[in-house]
Amino acid sequence: MSTTALKTPAQHSTIWDSLSDKSKARRLVATSEDFDKLSERVVSQWNRVDQIIPRNKLLALIAVVVLAHIIGLTGFINALHQPSIVKPKKTEVIVEFIKPEVIPPPVIEPPKPPPPPPPKVQRANPPPQAAKPAALRTAPADQHIAPSDIVVQENTTAAKTSGPVVAEPTPEPAPQPPVIKEEPLVEAKGGVGHLNNPSPEYPDFAADQGLEGTVVLRVKVLPNGKPGEVKVKKSSGHGILDDAAVAAAKRWAFTPAKRGNTPVEGWAIFPVEFKLQ
């Protein structure tokens, strides 16, 4: 292959124009010498073109152009035979839900009961008339009463005495026992902080779960200040907190109830609060 510099399209068009112009300038009837000269010039020009563009590349370019024209022509013919695709028109369908009108069923009134028959009036027989008692007649009093007709019986059962009659004395009432006044009762006391009672231990599970609440305990306090019985009066809503409060109260000290200055057995009621810091 030659290494000559490629010429621009403008230069190529100038070469072909020169060939065409000189051929136009020739006579219509050319001699053999003229034809030989023209052939030499054409061959020389072709050789120059071959030097500018290699022959194998030129043939490949011509083949690509022909193939492109064949493909375009085939596509155009196929397009003429194929029907055009008409896009269907979109039809909008509006769906409207209509709530059916519910007609309530007619209210059928139950048949009225037949009126009760009029009560039969029975005439009560008049009670039999009682016989009128005969008029009582008192025997007429005797106008003449003798002194011997009035007799007074003598009391022969009474003891005979010559002294005056004295009435029996009225017995005196039995003496009443003296009334003992009860001394006022002071209730028992206790709870968190009372007598340095420590707070109950917060269960780890309750703390992890964020459980809180208040337990109300009812403790039976013995005269020595120790708890005898611990009950839950009101739960916190969580059994684990209730159990912790009961376990702590069994270890606490309490102030016993007193009647006057004497310690007695009593009950103490107090709350125990569980609250996360």
Better-predicted residue by pLDDT, 108 or 262: 262
Q: What tokens were used for 144?
A: 């003449």
Whether residue 232 is predicted with pLDDT greater than 80 in this model: the reply is: yes
Q: What is residue 77's predicted lDDT score, i.e. its pLDDT?
A: 83
Tell me, yes or no, whether 60 lies in a domain: yes
Whether residue 27 is predicted with pLDDT greater than 50 in this model: the reply is: no
Tell me, yes or no, whether 102 lies in a domain: no
User: Where among 61, 79, 97 does a domain terminate?
Assistant: 79
pLDDT over 90 percentage in the chain: 30
Tell me, yes or no, whether 48 lies in a domain: yes
Express each pLDDT in 109-125 by its tens digit.
777 778 877 777 666 66
Q: What tokens were used for 165?
A: 């009659």
Better-predicted residue by pLDDT, 76 or 251: 251
Q: What's the gap between Cα 60 and its chain centre?
A: 81
Q: What is residue 106's predicted lDDT score, i.e. its pLDDT?
A: 78
Q: What is residue 146's predicted lDDT score, i.e. its pLDDT?
A: 64
User: Where among 56, 79, 102 does a domain terminate?
Assistant: 79
Provide the CATH number for the domain around residue 215.
3.30.2420.10
Express each pLDDT in 116-157 by its tens digit.
777 776 666 666 666 555 555 655 666 666 666 666 566 667
Express each pLDDT in 170-202 by its tens digit.
777 878 777 667 788 889 999 999 999 999 999
Tell me, yes or no, whether 224 lies in a domain: yes
Decide: 225 and 254 in contact? Cβ < 8 Å: yes
Express each pLDDT in 79-109 by its tens digit.
777 655 666 677 777 877 777 777 777 778 7
Cα-based angle 112, 117, 122 (whole degrees, multiple of 5):
160
Q: What is residue 5's predicted lDDT score, i.e. its pLDDT?
A: 44
| DSSP bridge partners of 221 | 227, 266
252 CB-side CA count, 13 A: 30
24 — phi, psi (to 5°)?
Answer: -70, -30
Mean pLDDT for the chain? 76
Which residue range(s) make up the domain with 36? 9-79
70 vs 58, 67, 73, 191, 192, CA distance in Å?
18, 5, 5, 108, 105
Strands in the chain per DSSP E: 185-186, 213-221, 227-234, 257-259, 262-264, 266-274
Q: What CA–CA distance (Å, rounded) separates 16 from 18? A: 5
Q: Following DSSP, what letter does each residue of 199-211 receive, concatenated? A: PPPPPHHHHHHT-
Whether residue 241 is predicted with pLDDT greater than 50 in this model: the reply is: yes
Tell me, yes or no, whether 142 lies in a domain: no
Whether residue 249 is predicted with pLDDT greater than 80 in this model: the reply is: yes
Q: What is residue 151's predicted lDDT score, i.e. its pLDDT?
A: 60
User: Where among 28, 54, 79 does a domain terminate?
Assistant: 79
Tell me, yes or no, whether 124 lies in a domain: no
Tell me, yes or no, whether 84 lies in a domain: no
Give the confidence band of 242 by pLDDT, cuts at 50, 70, 90: very high
Q: What is the number of structural domains in the chain?
A: 2
Tell me, yes or no, whether 35 lies in a domain: yes
